[in-house]
Amino acid sequence: MMIFRGAHARALCGAAALLAVTAATLAAVDAGDTCQACLLARFWSVAPDAWKSAGPPDFPEMPRLAELRSTDLGVAFSGGGTRSATATLGELNGLSRNGWLSRVRYVSAISGGGWAAVPFTFSKDTLFDFLGAARCPADLRHDDVVTTPNGLLASAIAHSSLGSGSLQEVVGSALDATIGDQTIKDGVNEALTLVGKSRREASRTDRTYARLIGETFIDPLIEEGGPSASDRLFAWDDTTVAEMATRNPGRLPADIVVAARDRPFLIVGGTLVSSRRDYAYPLLMPVEYTPLYVGVRQSFGERFGGTYVWPWAYDTQQVAAGSDMAVRVKYDSAHRFSLADVAASTSAAPQLLLLLGGGLPAQIKTALQTGAGYFPFFTHFAVHGSAMPLLTPAMPHGDGGFMDNLGLMPLLARQVHNILVFANTNTKYFEQNDDLKSYFLPIGPPDTNGDKSHNQVFDPTRYNDVVAGFWTQHDRKQALVFCGKNWKVLGNERYNIRPYDGLNICWFYNAAVPAWQDELGDPAVRKIVTGGDGKNSQGFADFPWFSTFEENKPHVIQLTTPQVNLLSNLASWGLTSRDSIRIIRAVLGDVVPEPSSVCDRAH
């Protein structure tokens, strides 16, 4: 969920003095026999030079996942707040309507895409109840569009109200007096609105944002009885829980949420942020949150990465050496690593700006850095070879979009050969979208929006192919979808991606589509989109590029019911129209078989 697009590099001028809160010295923890009542947690190590190797990689889920879901297909949902959550809802709905969702092996999600993908993965509701009815635009009716969110996820998005906060009010006048750059000023205000909530987590302020997001997107959508899902541990399936229990007989908490059996394997992206006084810019490291493990794949020196661990063991306060590919960790119910923590970390877009201080005067910077403490901070540990496990202090875990806002890298690291990438962006002109461009060309310098200068995984000439393909669809007034066949993936050290050949990839870009509007069967629905329906047309002047924050003030992330219903329908139609299906199947072939029906009024 990227915000503050276009913030100037000069906003980083104070970066060398960053983050006293995370400047503590990292140290190895030699717990020895002092780790009383510790539990055994499975871990997996990854060699730092694995990206130089040939052949397929070995991920913990791969052997069993290949049996459960035999089709080599992955989808990636980008960041973008409730705009992306809404588009992701539509795209999941379109995949389901086409009969393709059951063939997807991996779902990768960032930020707002994660707000949809996390509850989708763990909800036990039917696809119909969760995603809503799969309607073609010709079937939409005015009263339904404006009054009834289509499905449980749509209802959560339409009721996702976070009000303005007190911290913003306290420093707002000072901001006006000290910040000349309006882009930075707007970004700071949005950040402070999110962190300035009246309700705090009394014992752990760094769980404040997680509590808010959990109450909005986790608890209402994951119902299993007992304590709320926001406060419970999570795992892949009953087989995983059984292994955990075998290693820790009678000692593992019983209330563990497991993923639904008929869902793809989920990978949610976050960013571990490390700062030192001698860093010109923080070190950003990609974190992967999955139902089976959590960690940073690549090693970053001796202190970070190169290790995955069972999710419940992340954010531990004590770790010691174990045996049989396991470490001993101190389980603390006050530091439960939950689905709310995952959803909050992947979407903590304001955190980096708050940490950097935006080049502001010291008194304002101090307020901002205090605000950063309401976003996720977790301890991180690494196991390198036979050395003692290394544990850090609690460190910022921010938005996955700081590095990989389209969520593509985890799929490439696993050498998925058929990928659908959904750029649910609010950048109107696709040729100006740096998130997209960063996978082909160097992008920089790093700023308050993150660092994408190490993202190149494709030949630069392929970028021209994508842009030309989008222009072709734009001129045809159809959904912006371009598919490339048999691409080569370049090795990438930052994400520990091995090179491989034979990638078939389809790119989808959020855009206004005249052909979709023409297919709207009810003239009254078309009137909403074109701005002639009074209150129901609120915000549609920018449709479908809704703002990531404060589209409908004073609410921070909420979209209206008609905004949710129509944006999700447009996103679904981008997969279910006859034209899109033709383009996709021309490259992916029988990986995505011909649907039994299409959305096309002309036929």
One-letter amino acid of 97: R
Residue 18 CA to residue 34 CA, distance in Å, equals 34
Residue 356 CA to residue 348 CA, distance in Å, equals 14
For 106, the 3-state DSSP assignment is strand
8 Å CB contact between 544 and 510: yes
The residues with which 307 forms a beta bridge, in sequence order, are 45, 296
Q: Please report the pLDDT score of residue 18 as a whole number.
A: 36
Four-point Cα dihedral 126, 132, 136, 140, nearest 10: 150
Taking Cα atoms as reference points, which of 447, 347, 448, 435 lies closest to residue 398? 347
Q: What residues in the chain have per-residue pLDDT under 70? A: 1-34, 36, 162-203, 224-227, 358-364, 367, 386, 601-603
Q: Please report the pLDDT score of residue 553 as a whole number.
A: 82
CB hemisphere CA count around 397 (13 angstroms) = 32
Taking Cα atoms as reference points, which of 535, 534, 518 lies closest to residue 526? 518
Strands 74-77 and 418-423: parallel
Q: Which residues contact 328 (CB under 8 A, 6 or more apart)?
A: 31, 35, 38, 39, 40, 41, 319, 320, 321, 322
Taking Cα atoms as reference points, which of 101, 104, 43 lies closest to residue 69? 104
Q: Please report the pLDDT score of residue 354 as a whole number.
A: 81
Question: Sign of torsion, CA 131 133 137 141?
Answer: negative
E strand spans, 275-388: 283-289, 294-300, 304-309, 319-321, 326-329, 377-378, 381-382
| Both tokens assigned to 149 | 């969110």
